[in-house]
């Protein structure tokens, strides 16, 4: 497949190299020629020095036949404008945009772009680990707005009904594994010590579960 990476900082260089290692054709654009020094010496993709908003630069990168484009510069406005143009003017089917400053995230969402916000995602992940470690994230959707969590039922909560544990509207049971067999749990299911419960939740939803577990264990 043909991919274009705009921005050859640490993120862009790592992404471009990963794509290249998997056998894809990769073109990397950066206005600073020194940025290409971030690429490993065995990278054999194309490097193009120039402004990403310049049509001739995009054409040299092969945007007309690109299967995907990633805008990962440190400029949120540049990422948004180039990504929007790639979609509207060139019909690139798969576009991913890096959000550098969380305060500019709404800019990307206004253009209905697929956004990766490493700052917001990382901060939420650290916050969760600071609070609790017994309920861990196993899957993150979007930038962490909704995630799937794994919770192993402790001894104190054995024989509790699932519906008495999951009480928040922002928390949905996904599956329960017992003795190696998974099932779709119903609210009247009696929990057993060692059950592995997967739930989908927002941050507020998982906090409600943590508070409920603490309340039940203490009371």
Extents of the domains making up the chain: 2-116, 121-218
Q: In a structure prediction context, what are the per-residue pLDDT tens digits for the chain, which is 219 residues long? A: 999 999 999 999 999 999 999 999 999 999 999 999 999 999 999 999 999 999 999 999 999 999 999 999 999 899 999 999 999 999 999 999 988 887 777 777 777 778 887 777 777 767 766 765 578 888 887 767 898 998 989 888 888 999 999 988 999 999 999 988 999 999 999 999 989 999 999 989 988 998 888 888 886
The pLDDT value given to residue 159:
86
CA-CA distances (angstroms) from residue 129 to 122, 135, 170? 11, 9, 20
- pLDDT recorded at residue 14: 95
Could you tell me the CATH superfamily of domain 121-218? Regulator of K+ conductance, C-terminal domain (3.30.70.1450)
pTM over 0.85: no
What is the rounded end-to-end Cα distance, in angstroms, of the chain? Answer: 58
pLDDT at 128: 65
Starting from the edge strand earliest in sequence, which strands make up the sheet with 181-183, in order? 135-141, 146-152, 196-201, 171-178, 181-183
CATH homologous superfamily, domain 2-116: NAD(P)-binding Rossmann-like Domain (3.40.50.720)
Please give the angle made by the CA atoms of 21, 24 and 26, to the nearest 5 degrees.
95
DSSP state at residue 93: S
> How much is the pLDDT for 112?
79
pLDDT digits (tens, 9 = 90+) for 110-157: 777 788 877 777 777 677 667 655 788 888 877 678 989 989 898 888
């Amino acid at each position: 497949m043909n991919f274009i990476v705009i921005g050859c900082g640490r993120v862009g260089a790592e992404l471009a190299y990963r794509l290249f290692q998997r056998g894809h054709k990769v073109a990397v654009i950066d206005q600073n020629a020194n940025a290409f020094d971030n690429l490993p010496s065995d990278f054999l993709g194309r490097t193009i020095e120039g402004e990403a908003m310049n049509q001739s630069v995009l054409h040299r990168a092969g945007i007309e036949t690109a299967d995907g484009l990633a805008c990962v510069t440190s400029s949120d406005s540049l990422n948004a404008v180039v990504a929007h143009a790639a979609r509207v003017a060139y019909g690139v089917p798969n576009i991913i945009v890096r959000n550098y400053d969380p305060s500019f995230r709404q800019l990307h969402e206004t253009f209905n772009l697929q956004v990766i916000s490493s700052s917001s995602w990382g901060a939420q992940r650290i916050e969760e680990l600071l609070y609790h470690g017994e309920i861990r994230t196993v899957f993150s959707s979007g930038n962490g707005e909704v995630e799937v969590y794994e919770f192993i039922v402790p001894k104190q909560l054995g024989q509790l009904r699932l519906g008495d544990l999951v009480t928040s509207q922002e928390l949905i049971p996904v599956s329960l594994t017992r003795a190696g067999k998974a099932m779709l749990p119903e609210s009247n299911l009696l929990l057993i010590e060692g059950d592995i419960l997967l739930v989908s939740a927002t941050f507020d939803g998982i906090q409600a579960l943590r508070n409920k577990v603490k309340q039940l264990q203490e009371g």
